[in-house]
Amino acid sequence: MANVPQDLRYTEQHEYLKPAGEEGVYFVGITDYAQGELGDVVFVELPSAGASFDAMASFGTIEAVKAVSDLYCPVSGEVVEANGALDANPAAVNSDPYGEGWMIKLRVSNPADVDGLMDAAAYEKLIG
């Protein structure tokens, strides 16, 4: 059974938003369920700080042994930081998706949009 932290927000595309300890800024990554479906992650392509994305726009790609998938921005915002550690260790997405495996830190354009994402109970229902 996939690990679904209760305090995060989720998308139907299996990205999560996790508060980054700064108002309006969130970590974005893929869920434990998603990394399990992908298999061993071998490469992650991320945007540079300062890039802006609309909600559900592709902000990068993740390459695993089985497939290459787009990464989708859960809400609109500006990238504050990309996780450069994933260049050397993309497998952190598999081993610690909610910790070391985060992908970008996003300053959300409209904080109210976060409330429109799924809570843990809704996400658990989605993934069965």
**Token pair of 116, please?**
């429109």
Q: What is the pTM of this model?
A: 0.96
First to last CA, the chain: 9
Is pLDDT above 90 for 19? yes
Structural domains of the chain ordered from first start: 26-127 (2.40.50.100)
Summarised one tens digit per residue, pLDDT across range 31-51 is 999 999 999 999 999 999 999
Is pLDDT above 90 for 58? yes
